[in-house]
């Protein structure tokens, strides 16, 4: 599952340039029985298997012991705190992340009690496993790391990073099916272009995400008071 997203485009180049190392581990390597079992039936009955505590705890402890870096442990779970850009920024400052991908009904609760991971959800819906959430976390964190995206200015302008949604963007040709690029973008006046882009971002955020816009205005007002 991981080979596509981790061996294409920006994430691939980041690894080739030595900006980040990404490893995918097979939990069966830490199983102790001859069938390499990673799950079992639930105590109390009910449909669905639960991931065994022993291989997960041993895998995490083993991986932590292989690095001198301080490891930060994440468990993908729909019951965790909601993943958003501010969490990606927080994680991009960490030296070493270990991400556990759950499966089936989830993991034995004692994994959480003992390892105390940061439980992260990518939204209020249920996926079959933690692989896609792990890929989303890796992708969004790696692109924030210094030198990964060529023009860092472009990352800073993205939606959420400055608290607003991004403005509309256009490329060639100047007209598509009767719809022209706004004149201001062709004016060469960069101050005017910046002003137009900010207005568009504000208008778009207020309309589509009033919650974000309220927070943005609050922060702007605080900044103005402190200036």
Residues that bind ligand SAM (CB under 6 A): 76-79, 101-103, 105-106, 121-123, 125-130, 133
Cβ–Cβ < 8 Å for 201, 158: no
In terms of CB distance, is 14 or 100 closer to ligand SAM? 100
- Strand pairing category for 96-100 and 175-176: unpaired
Minimum CB separation from ligand SAM for residue 203, in Å? 31
> Measuring CA to CA, which residue among 184, 156, 190 is closest to residue 170?
184
State the burial class of residue 180 (Cβ atoms within 10 Å of its Cβ: 0-12, 13-18, 19+).
exposed
In the bound complex, what is the minimum distance in angstroms from residue 60's beta carbon to ligand SAM? Answer: 14
CB of 25 to ligand SAM, least distance (A): 15
* Closest to ligand SAM by CB, 12 or 25: 25
- Quote the least distance from Cβ 208 to ligand SAM, whole Å: 22
Q: Cα(42)–Cα(153) distance, rounded to whole angstroms? A: 50
156: nearest Cα among 164, 208, 91, 137: 164
Nearer to ligand SAM, 141 or 164 (CB): 141
Of 107 and 165, which has the nearer Cβ to ligand SAM? 107
Nearest Cα to Cα of residue 20 among 74, 83, 91? 91
CB of 177 to ligand SAM, least distance (A): 38
CB nearer to ligand SAM: give 5 or 102: 102
């Amino acid at each position: 599952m991981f080979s596509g997203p981790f061996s294409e485009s920006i994430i691939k180049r980041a690894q080739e340039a030595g900006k980040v190392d990404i490893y995918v581990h097979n939990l069966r390597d830490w199983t102790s029985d001859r069938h390499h079992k990673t799950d079992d039936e639930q105590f109390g009955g009910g449909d669905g298997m639960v991931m065994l505590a022993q291989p997960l705890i041993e895998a995490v402890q083993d991986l932590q012991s292989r690095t001198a870096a301080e490891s930060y442990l994440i468990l993908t779970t729909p019951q965790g705190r909601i993943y958003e850009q501010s969490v990606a920024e927080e994680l991009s400052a960490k030296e070493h992340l270990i991400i556990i991908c759950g499966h089936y009904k989830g993991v034995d609760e004692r994994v959480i009690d003992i390892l105390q991971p940061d439980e992260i959800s990518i939204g209020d819906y249920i996926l079959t496993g933690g692989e896609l959430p792990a890929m989303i976390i890796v992708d969004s964190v790696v692109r924030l790391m210094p030198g990964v995206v060529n023009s860092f200015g472009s990352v800073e302008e993205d939606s959420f990073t400055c608290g607003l949604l991004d403005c509309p963007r256009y490329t060639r040709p100047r007209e598509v099916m009767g719809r022209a690029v706004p004149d201001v973008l062709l004016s060469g006046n960069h101050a005017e272009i910046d002003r137009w882009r900010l207005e568009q971002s504000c208008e778009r955020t207020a309309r589509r995400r009033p919650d974000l816009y309220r927070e943005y205005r609050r922060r702007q007002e605080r900044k103005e008071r402190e200036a």
